[in-house]
Structure 1
Amino acid sequence: MKFGKYLDEKKRALWAPHYVDYKALKDLIKDCAAAAELNDGWQSSQVTSLSVTRFSSRDLPEEQFFKRLDQEVSKVGKFTAQLVTTLRGRLQKLQDSVHKDLKPGERDELLEEAKAIGDEFLQLEKYVNLNYMGFHKILKKHDKALPQTPCRQFYISHLHQQPWVQGNYSELMVVLSNIFSEVRGDTLAEAQGGSAQAFNRSTTKYWIRTSDVSAVKRTIIENMPVFVFNAENYSGDAQLVNSVYFDNDSLELYHGRLDKKPGALAIRVRWYGPNDPSLCFVERKIHKESWKGEKSVKERFTLPEAKVVPYIEGEYTAEEYEEGLRAKGKSEEDIAKASKLFREIQLTIDSKQLKPFVRTQYMRSAFQMGHDRSVSFTLDTNLVMLKENPEGAPTCAISGRWFRDPALPVSRTEITRFPHAVLEIKLALPEGESPPEWVADLMESDLITEVHKMSKFIHGTATLFPEMVRAVPYWMDDESIRASILNSAPDAKQIDSRARDAQIVAEEKPRKRRGPEPAAGDEDSTLHHPLLGEGPTLQLMDEGGAAGAGRSLRRVGAPPAERPWDKVLAWLPGSKNKKPMATTIPQRLEPKTFLASERTFLSWMHMAITLASIATALLAFAGSSKDKLDPLHKVGGNLVLFVAFILLPLSILIVAYAAMVFVWRSNQIALKQASYIDDRRGPYLLVTLVVLALTAIFVASSVDLVTAWKETHSSGYKAPVHTAVHKQLFDNLGSQLGRI
Structure 2
Amino acid sequence: MRFGKTLSDSIYPPWKDKYLQYDKIKKLLREDETSPQGRGGESGWTEQDEENFVHELTVTQLEKVHQHQVTTFNALRDRAAACEAKLPNQEAEDAGKSEDDLKDIAKETLKELDSISKELNELRKFSRVNYTGFLKAAKKHDRRRGLKYRVRPILQVRLAQTPFNQEDYSPLLFRLSAMYSWARQKLGEEDADTTDPATDARSKDTYKAYKYWVHVDNLLEVKTYILRRLPVLVYNPQSMKIVDSAQKDPTLTSIYFDNDKFDLYQGKVDKGTAGDSVRLRWTGQLGDKPEIVLEKKTVGEESESRDIRLTIKEKYVESFLKGEYKLEKQIQKLEDRLGSDAEEVKTFKANVEEIQSFIKDKGLEPVLRASYTRTAFQIPGDDRIRVSLDTDLAFIREDAFDSDRPCRDPEDWHRSDIDKEQLEYPFTSIKKGEISRFQHAVLEIKVKESKFTRNNTWLQDLMNSHLVKEEKKFSKFVHGVALLFEDYVNSFPFWLSDLETDIRRDPVTAFKEEQVREAKQAEDEMAVGSFLGTSKFSSSMKGKAGSPAKALERRISGNFSQSVQSPARPKPADQLQSTAEEPDSDDDGLQSGNQVDTQESGRGLRSYLPAFSNSRYARRRRQGTAWEDAPLPPGVKDPGNWIKDQGTLKVEAKVWLANQRTFVKWQHISVLLATLSLGLYNAAGVDNNIARILSLVYTAFAVFAGIWGWGIYLWRSKLITERSGKDFDNAIGPFVVSVGLACALILNFAFKYNAAIADHGHTGNSTVLGSMGRLTPTDIAQDMFVPEL
One fold, TM greater than 0.5?
yes
- Alpha-carbon distance change, 144 to 466 in structure 1, aligned in 2, over 3 angstroms: same
| 8 Å CA contact retained: 1:238, 1:364 | yes
1:258 to 2:269 alignment: yes
- Alpha-carbon distance change, 160 to 455 in structure 1, aligned in 2, over 3 angstroms: farther
1:396 to 2:408 alignment: yes
Q: How does 1:419-430 map to 2 (within 5 A)?
A: 419-430=439-450
Paired residue for 1:69, among 57, 61, 65?
A: 57
Q: Distance in 2 between matches of 1:157 and 1:254?
A: 45
CA-based RMSD of the aligned residues comes to 3.6
Paired residue for 2:492, among 468, 472, 491?
A: 472
Paired residue for 1:288, among 300, 304, 328?
A: 300
Paired residue for 1:191, among 171, 191, 195?
A: 195
Q: Distance in 1 between matches of 2:158 and 2:339?
A: 55
Paired residue for 1:318, among 313, 319, 327?
A: 327
Q: How does 1:555-704 map to 2 (within 5 A)?
A: none
Give the residue type in structure 1 aligned to 2:180.
Answer: F
In the TM superposition, what is the alpha-carbon distance from 1:364 to its structure 2 partner? 0.9
In the TM superposition, what is the alpha-carbon distance from 1:16 to its structure 2 partner? 2.2
Give the residue type in structure 1 aligned to 2:301.
Answer: E
Aligned to 1:131: 130
Q: Distance in 2 between matches of 1:38 and 1:190?
A: 72
| 8 Å CA contact retained: 1:289, 1:295 | yes
Query: Deviation string for 1:393-436 (max 9, x for gaps)?
Result: 44424353423522593122222222222111111132696232
Aligned to 1:437: 457
Query: Deviation string for 1:570-605 (max 9, x for gaps)?
Result: xxxxxxxxxxxxxxxxxxxxxxxxxxxxxxxxxxxx
Aligned to 1:268: 279
Paired residue for 1:79, among 68, 72, 97?
A: 68
Stretches of structure 1 that go unaligned for 5 or more consecutive residues are 46-57, 483-528, 536-740
Aligned to 2:397: 387
Q: Distance in 1 between matches of 2:106 and 2:452?
A: 33
Q: How does 1:77-156 map to 2 (within 5 A)?
A: 77-99=66-88, 100=93, 101=97, 102-148=101-147, 149-152=149-152, 155-156=155-156
Stretches of structure 2 that go unaligned for 5 or more consecutive residues are 424-428, 508-789
In the TM superposition, what is the alpha-carbon distance from 1:316 to its structure 2 partner? 2.5
Aligned to 2:253: 242
Q: Distance in 2 between matches of 1:251 and 1:404?
A: 23
Shifted more, 418-427 versus 142-151: the winner is 142-151
User: Does the residue aligned with 2:376 lie in a helix, a strand or coil?
Assistant: strand
- Alpha-carbon distance change, 460 to 198 in structure 1, aligned in 2, over 3 angstroms: closer
- Alpha-carbon distance change, 318 to 92 in structure 1, aligned in 2, over 3 angstroms: same
Give the residue type in structure 1 aligned to 2:50.
Answer: E
Aligned to 1:12: 12
1:307 to 2:316 alignment: yes
User: Does the residue aligned with 2:466 lie in a helix, a strand or coil?
Assistant: coil
| 8 Å CA contact retained: 1:281, 1:300 | yes
TM (norm. structure 2) is 0.54
Q: Distance in 1 between matches of 2:446 and 2:288?
A: 28
- Alpha-carbon distance change, 250 to 75 in structure 1, aligned in 2, over 3 angstroms: same
User: Does the residue aligned with 1:88 lie in a helix, a strand or coil?
Assistant: helix
In the TM superposition, what is the alpha-carbon distance from 1:229 to its structure 2 partner? 4.4
Query: Deviation string for 1:538-593 (max 9, x for gaps)?
Result: xxxxxxxxxxxxxxxxxxxxxxxxxxxxxxxxxxxxxxxxxxxxxxxxxxxxxxxx
User: Does the residue aligned with 2:195 lie in a helix, a strand or coil?
Assistant: coil
User: Does the residue aligned with 2:250 lie in a helix, a strand or coil?
Assistant: strand
User: Does the residue aligned with 1:125 lie in a helix, a strand or coil?
Assistant: helix
| 8 Å CA contact retained: 2:109, 2:183 | yes
| 8 Å CA contact retained: 2:142, 2:151 | yes
1:352 to 2:362 alignment: yes
Query: Deviation string for 1:247-280 (max 9, x for gaps)?
Result: 1110111111222289721111111125636221
Q: How does 1:365-380 map to 2 (within 5 A)?
A: 365-380=375-390
- Alpha-carbon distance change, 433 to 122 in structure 1, aligned in 2, over 3 angstroms: closer
Q: Distance in 2 between matches of 1:329 and 1:228?
A: 34
- Alpha-carbon distance change, 432 to 121 in structure 1, aligned in 2, over 3 angstroms: closer
Q: Percent identity?
A: 30
Shifted more, 336-345 versus 11-20: the winner is 336-345
1:41 to 2:53 alignment: no
In the TM superposition, what is the alpha-carbon distance from 1:44 to its structure 2 partner? 11
Aligned to 2:227: 221
Q: Distance in 2 between matches of 1:131 and 1:531?
A: 20
Q: Distance in 2 between matches of 1:259 and 1:393?
A: 30
Paired residue for 2:211, among 194, 205, 209?
A: 205
Aligned to 2:544: none
Query: Deviation string for 1:469-502 (max 9, x for gaps)?
Result: 1211111122xx12xxxxxxxxxxxxxxxxxxxx
How many residue pairs get aligned? The number is 471
- Alpha-carbon distance change, 411 to 38 in structure 1, aligned in 2, over 3 angstroms: closer
- Alpha-carbon distance change, 330 to 30 in structure 1, aligned in 2, over 3 angstroms: farther
Aligned to 1:697: none
Q: Distance in 1 between matches of 2:34 and 2:411?
A: 59
In the TM superposition, what is the alpha-carbon distance from 1:179 to its structure 2 partner? 0.3
Shifted more, 355-364 versus 3-12: the winner is 3-12
Give the residue type in structure 1 aligned to 2:414.
Answer: W
| 8 Å CA contact retained: 1:142, 1:150 | yes
